[in-house]
Amino acid sequence: MRPVPASPPFEFCQYPPPEVGYKVTSCWDGTGGLRVLLIEDDVALGEAVRDHVAGGAHAVDWMKTIDTAASALSTTGYGLVLLDLRLPDGSGIALLKDIRARGITTPVIILTAHDQISDRIEGLNSGADDYLVKPFNLGELTARMLAVSRRYEGRPVSLVRIGDLEIDAAERRVSSAGEAIALSGREWAVLDTLSARPGAVVSKAQIEEALYAFGSEIESNTVEVYVSRLRRKLGRDQIATLRGVGYRLGRER
């Protein structure tokens, strides 16, 4: 697989660094729509998705292999990637892990026939933002694209510092006093939701919504369990509980 060069953390739209020497085009298509990379080897499905997404005023580049997709990602800034997992020259998960490891934070929605919970968890833990099982309704695809876009566009900053704690949403990294902190996918989902509004109260329902993406049922105490785990890793005083209201990361604004 051709390596994909790393990119710096821009808000929502990501670009390879200019010193690499590649020609870079915008993740916006010039008409207000997104520039979307579709990675799908099934011709019939690829045509249907391409035509539907393009019909929504987005520009679509369609690649059928990992190698051509990696090449496209190295030369073009995309606003969104639609990724199949089973491709002729390898696994889509391998490509996803590679681009995340290199700092490319472009939103990714997985499109796949793999419908096992374990497959969904692997995809989300590997860096996907959402997961859609084939066959799917094209209208639902549009709704999920918009939801992922809103999630990224709504972020005023990608780096949050609270004392010694540093949370880099773009790079999905957390550290305290310079020491990296390892988080599970669900722990990150909770922290990411809180860090989007540091110093403000986030409701339990908002955190539960972030956890629903992992495909399993949410128990009544699930949020409390993951907040407790985060406190053990980040420090007990970093997350405040406002009983009956929600949770707050850091001091009140």
- Tens of pLDDT, residue by residue over 107-163, are 899 998 887 888 888 888 888 999 999 999 999 999 999 888 877 665 555 678 888
pLDDT band with cut points at 50, 70 and 90 for residue 13: very low
Q: In the predicted model, is pLDDT for residue 94 greater than 90?
A: yes
- Tell me, what's the pLDDT at 199? 85
Same domain, 127 and 197: no
Last residue of one domain, picked from the residues 153, 179, 201: 153
Which has the closest alpha carbon to 249: 174, 198, 202? 198
Q: In the predicted model, is pLDDT for residue 28 greater than 60?
A: no
Same domain, 24 and 113: yes
- Tell me, what's the pLDDT at 253? 59
Same domain, 27 and 146: yes
| Residue at 243 is within a domain | yes
Mean residue pLDDT across the chain: 80
Same domain, 217 and 123: no
Q: Which domain holds residue 172?
A: 159-249
- Tell me, what's the pLDDT at 44? 95
Last residue of one domain, picked from the residues 153, 183, 199: 153
Same domain, 123 and 23: yes
Same domain, 29 and 148: yes
Q: In the predicted model, is pLDDT for residue 35 greater than 50?
A: yes
* All residues at 6 or more sequence positions from 102 whose CB lies less than 8 Å from its CB, including other chains: 3, 4, 5, 6, 7
Q: In the predicted model, is pLDDT for residue 29 greater than 60?
A: no
Whether the model clears a pTM of 0.85, i.e. scores above it, the answer is no
CA torsion angle 114 120 122 124 (round to 10)? 130
| Residue at 9 is within a domain | no
- Tell me, what's the pLDDT at 192? 85
Same domain, 120 and 31: yes
Same domain, 24 and 114: yes
29: left (phi over 0), alpha (psi -120 to 50) or beta: alpha
Domain count, the chain: 2
Calpha distance 40→166 (Å, rounded): 37
Same domain, 44 and 130: yes
pLDDT tens sequence across 64-91: 999 999 988 877 778 899 999 999 999 9
- Tell me, what's the pLDDT at 141? 94
Q: If you average pLDDT over each of 38-42, 57-61, 185-189, 220-224, which comes out highest?
A: 38-42
State what percent of residues in the chain have pLDDT above 90. 36
Same domain, 25 and 140: yes
- Tell me, what's the pLDDT at 215? 52
Strand partners, 81: 37, 108
- Tell me, what's the pLDDT at 3? 47
Mean pLDDT of 10-16: 33
| Residue at 59 is within a domain | yes
Same domain, 138 and 66: yes
Looking up residue 23, the CATH number of its domain turns out to be 3.40.50.2300
| Residue at 117 is within a domain | yes
Q: In the predicted model, is pLDDT for residue 42 greater than 60?
A: yes
Same domain, 122 and 164: no
Looking up residue 221, the CATH number of its domain turns out to be 1.10.10.10
